Structure 1
Amino acid sequence: MNALQKLQEFLGDPNNQIGKVVDFDATKDSLFPFNFTASNTDLTPEILADTELFSRWVDKQLSEHGATYGIGGYNEHRTIYSRSGHFDTVTEPRRLHLGVDIWGPAGTSIYNFYEAKVHSFEFNDNFGDYGATIILEYQLGELTLFGLYGHLNLASLKDLNEGQIIAAGKQFARFGVKEENGYWPPHLHFQLMFDMEGLRGDYPGVCQFSKRERYLENCPDPTQVLSATFGVTV
């Protein structure tokens, strides 16, 4: 049984209780699926170049659709990374998103979906980067799984220690403002990895399209976990 099969088996067992990542009441709250591919012509270069304009655009979409959060992005080939040289390489720019983004207000609480220990954390302070970042290590039966939480507020890193146990259901972080989150509209980048490949406090959240198969094999779809938060498959 490979890692993905072990994850699916664990998540499919009703005896294994997976908790929420953010507050959400499926009886009254709703989600708006964002599209950040080239087909979304509303996102002009002028909006993407200005974090304040980009943030107002995100807020407007959520307001107009009566949505509590915006969501999406796994395995999405995105144009929005053209706003930052952080994603450019000599041979091929990085544009394929490896996690799920949950867009909402700065200060939004983030909860641990299952007991874990702190693997590592870092303030990745490049324009377009994660900003404040926490990586948790989960033991799901026989499977070791890592969860990356990016674009947090800096207070989330205060008094944190590697190896520290974070209880299931504990509120341990919050969405950061642009000065703390890599200069993005407030949101959470939530990503799963089977192998950290020796990295600490960071792992690529965006890859070159030519490396898509390799990275998606190591980074399973996070919506498998988030369905417990939102009550539906997202």
Structure 2
Amino acid sequence: MLETILARYQPFQPVVLLDPEVDSLLLMDFTKKNIGITAEILDDNQLFTKYIQQVLTDHDCTFGIGGYGEHRTIYARSHHFSTGEEPRRLHLGIDIWGPVGTYVFAPMDGIVHSYRFNDVHGDYGATIILQHQLEGHTFHTLYGHLSVKDLEGLHEGMRVAAGQLIAHFGDLHENGHWPPHLHFQIITDMENNKGDYPGVCRYSEREKYLRNCPDPDLILQLMP
């Protein structure tokens, strides 16, 4: 099991640097329980960004975090998640919400599996996927909502070292039109995808996708 292997190698290099004396983390809820997120906020990228920033300020936190396995109503803001008979609403990664330009680092050695600018409203925007091996087991980490500049100079198979700066939180025009944040996801089988993999699935398919995408906090080690 990948979970068992990852547990043996903790701690990994931090994906986002946090100073425990300065940078507080706020656990954020994006389910229907959060009545503070109105339809008006979701329909306006700037209002949504201001909402995230205000919530973090109100709690004196630098970053927000959460989302793995969360059934989110916020995906109704984009048709990208509503194709087919059943909409996609179950989140498969962990989001870290914070300032544009926040550094993103590789948690362990690996290679660039693939990358792409997924430029559809609600999608990842600039995306990088790394491939790793531990004890002969191959798996992947996905980094979504990045800066487009982070894709420059990359090539498949390019080596990446643990702790290496690989990306930055992107702005609205390049991150899929979301408030600045990082979507971090572990993926066992890429299922022949390149530069993209679902970060949100249909609730009816949750067992399949959660099995293929284990809890990202096995690497992040940031959840309260």
* Corresponding residue number in structure 1 for 2:4: 8
* Corresponding residue number in structure 2 for 1:166: 160
Q: Report how far residue 11 of structure 1 moved.
A: 2.6
1:88 correspondence with 2:94: no
Number of residue equivalences: 224
Percent identity between matched residues is 52
For the residues of structure 2 that align with 1:62 and 1:180, how far apart are their CA atoms? 22
5+ residue gaps in structure 2? none
Contact conserved, 2:139 with 2:187, CA < 8 A, in 1? Answer: yes
For the residues of structure 1 that align with 2:151 and 2:110, how far apart are their CA atoms? 16
Q: Report how far residue 89 of structure 1 moved.
A: 2.0
User: Aligned match of 2:64 in 54, 64, 70?
Assistant: 70
Contact conserved, 1:100 with 1:222, CA < 8 A, in 2? Answer: yes
TM-score (norm 2): 0.97
User: Aligned match of 1:37 in 10, 31, 34?
Assistant: 31
5+ residue gaps in structure 1? none
One-letter amino acid of the counterpart of residue 184, structure 2: F
TM-score (norm 1): 0.93
User: Aligned match of 1:25 in 13, 19, 26?
Assistant: 19
For the residues of structure 2 that align with 1:40 and 1:106, how far apart are their CA atoms? 24
One-letter amino acid of the counterpart of residue 181, structure 1: N
For the residues of structure 2 that align with 1:184 and 1:140, how far apart are their CA atoms? 33
CA gap of 1:42–1:197, structure 2 versus 1, over 3 A, is same
Contact conserved, 1:175 with 1:186, CA < 8 A, in 2? Answer: yes
For the residues of structure 2 that align with 1:175 and 1:147, how far apart are their CA atoms? 16
Q: Report how far residue 13 of structure 1 moved.
A: 4.3
One-letter amino acid of the counterpart of residue 38, structure 2: T
Superposed CA RMSD: 1.1
1:214 correspondence with 2:208: yes
Q: Report how far residue 27 of structure 1 moved.
A: 3.3
One-letter amino acid of the counterpart of residue 93, structure 1: P
Aligned pairs for 1:56-135 within 5 A: 56-135=50-129
- CA displacement, residues 73-120 of structure 1 (integer Å, 9 cap, x when unaligned): 000000000000000122100000000000001100000000110000
